[in-house]
Chains A and B, each alone.
Chain A
Amino acid sequence: EVQLVQSGAEVKKPGESLKISCQGSGYSFTTYWIGWVRQMPGKGLEWMGIIFPGDSDSRYSPSLQGQVTISADKSISTAYLQWSSLKASDTAMYYCARRNYGHAFDIWGQGTMVTVSS
């Protein structure tokens, strides 16, 4: 079965760092781009960025560039989304998703809820 499995929910304080993960299985992880999508509580979907695990080539949304870092470890079929200093406004559900059929996301992780609160 093709799937993406994300790490569990996180509760952090403002200023803390965080790295969440997304592990792929059931397909060749190094040959599909993996994107990250944010969904703030009660809001819509927002694309954050994307990475090609084969060579770690990455692209970021212009509005979020510099606020997060996307990386991948192809040896363990895992992509990451990382913050160096969280803010309360980072509170959201974060999804990873596999890009296919051009620029569609066909396989989604279950989501990782990140709560940032003092």
Chain B
Amino acid sequence: EIVLTQSPGTLSLSPGERATLSCRASQSVSSNYLVWYQQKPGQAPRLLIYGASSRATGIPDRFSGSGSGTDFTLTISRLEPEDFAVYYCQQYGSSLTFGQGTKVEIK
């Protein structure tokens, strides 16, 4: 089973700042199968990025995904108040696994 390790655990930033979230896999992951979600308290997760770099429908272009192999990154170019949330990466190889999440909090 592929293990995804997200870092940092918590990111403290101010609105307007750039957020860089990392997702590292224990084995190589096909870029087609690397996904990012956002989850706010009391809500279901929301799909942000699929295929490592494709934005889902309705996702603002301040969200971008990149990476390949074992290292993937989600970047939020300028944080808006509504972006403070927990972010999860997910992969599908022989099985499907999620990272443990990165919380982006207001500094």
Residues of B within 8 A of A45 (CB): 37, 39, 45, 88, 90, 98, 101
**CA gap between A110 and B44 in the complex, in Å:** 6
Q: Is A108 part of the binding interface, using a Cβ–Cβ cutoff of 8 Å?
A: yes
Stretch at the interface among A9-17, A75-83, A97-105: A97-105
**CA gap between A97 and B47 in the complex, in Å:** 10
**CA gap between A3 and B56 in the complex, in Å:** 16
Interface residues on B, range: 20 to 34
Residues of B within 8 A of A102 (CB): 32-33, 50-51, 92
Partner of A95, one of B45, B47, B51, B57: B45
**CA gap between A81 and B59 in the complex, in Å:** 30
Q: List 5 A-B contacts (CB under 8 A).
A: A44-B98, A101-B50, A103-B33, A103-B90, A103-B96
Which of B's residues lie within 8 Å of A, judged by CB? 1, 32-33, 35, 37, 39, 44-47, 50-51, 54, 56-57, 88, 90, 92, 95-101
8 extra interface residue pairs, beta carbon distance < 8 Å, beyond A95-B45, A106-B50, A108-B46: A45-B88, A47-B90, A100-B50, A102-B51, A103-B90, A104-B47, A105-B47, A111-B44
